[in-house]
Amino acid sequence: SGEGPLSGKTVLITAGPTREAVDPVRYLSNRSSGRMGFAVAEAAARAGAQVKLVTGPVHLPTPAGVERVDVETAEEMRQAVTDRAASADVFIAAAAVADYRVPRIAEHKLKKDTDGELHEIPLERNPDILAEVAAMTDKRPFSVGFAAETRDLEKHARKKLERKKLDLIAANLVGRDRGFDREENELLLLDQQGSQALGAGSKRALAGKLIAEIAARLDGEASS
Ligand code: C5P
């Protein structure tokens, strides 16, 4: 923290995948590398913010000046976010939270021979962490989401903006050779005012642009 467009602000960020246990040795997860969220945390710190980064399991170094909280499951991520959301000015959800979890984690490793053929794993919905924060009625932070879509990017992202009642959403096309687990990305920003292409670039460069756009909107709120 220090000088910069976000000095005096606290920014809470989620990053990475979550990991949902099936039994002591197996889990459900996804291909998120955490790079976008970590780049956003680094950019926010460079902009002078006090940054808290709640991350699922990733192989990334903690950006300088960032307070990191490691979690594994969506429920742990939700708890870590809930504990910190009311003291944050901005919440940016860059984590790829697993949509489902296993309701009863087996105490012992599931066995093909004694537990039968393991064709089906029962699942239940995980909480939507971002929607919960955006629905806060007291001390609600400026709430920013990411939308990773394989098609109809703008349409699906705008639906998410409305449904989760977000202030801003950063949309990117994923799949094949784009998005997840890559250094490069391409973002489109959507809010109530309209849409704005941030273009293609490194996740680091795009994170800087996103943070600048968020800082400008906080300024707008303060002066209106
Ligand atoms: O609905 P979808 O998963 O596509 O929404 C993406 C956005 O919502 C991301 O910002 C993601 O971090 C957030 N999210 C969340 N908790 C969930 C699912 C998504 O915070 N359970």
Superfamily for the 10-223 domain: CoaB-like (3.40.50.10300)
- The pLDDT assigned to 175 comes to 67
Among the listed residues 30, 126, 172, 185, the single catalytic one is 30
User: Is 172 among the residues known to form the active site?
Assistant: no
- Ligand 1 pocket mutation, candidates 58, 76, 97, 132, criterion most atoms within 8 A of CB: 97
44-61 pLDDT, tens digit per residue, is 999 999 999 999 999 999
Mean pLDDT computed over every residue of the chain: 93
**Position in ligand 1 atom list of the atom nearest CA 132:** 20
Q: Which residues line ligand 1 (CB under 6 A)?
A: 14, 74, 93-95, 97, 126, 128-130, 145-147, 160
Q: 97: pLDDT confidence band, cut at 50, 70 and 90?
A: very high
Position 6 pLDDT exceeds 80: yes
How far is the C-alpha of 43 from the C-alpha of 211, rounded, in Å? 7
- Ligand 1 pocket mutation, candidates 29, 123, 124, 128, criterion most atoms within 8 A of CB: 128
Instruction: Pick 147 or 111 by higher pLDDT.
Output: 147
Q: How far is the CA of 130 from the centre of ligand 1 (A)?
A: 6
Q: How far is the CA of 104 from the centre of ligand 1 (A)?
A: 23
Domain ranges of the chain: 10-223
Q: 224: pLDDT confidence band, cut at 50, 70 and 90?
A: low
Position 129 pLDDT exceeds 70: yes
Burial class (CB in 10 A: 0-12, 13-18, 19+), 92: buried
Quote the ipTM score.
0.98
Structure tokens at 146: 């990411």
172-191 pLDDT, tens digit per residue, is 988 656 656 667 888 999 99
Torsion of CA 2, 51, 90, 46, to 10 degrees: 50
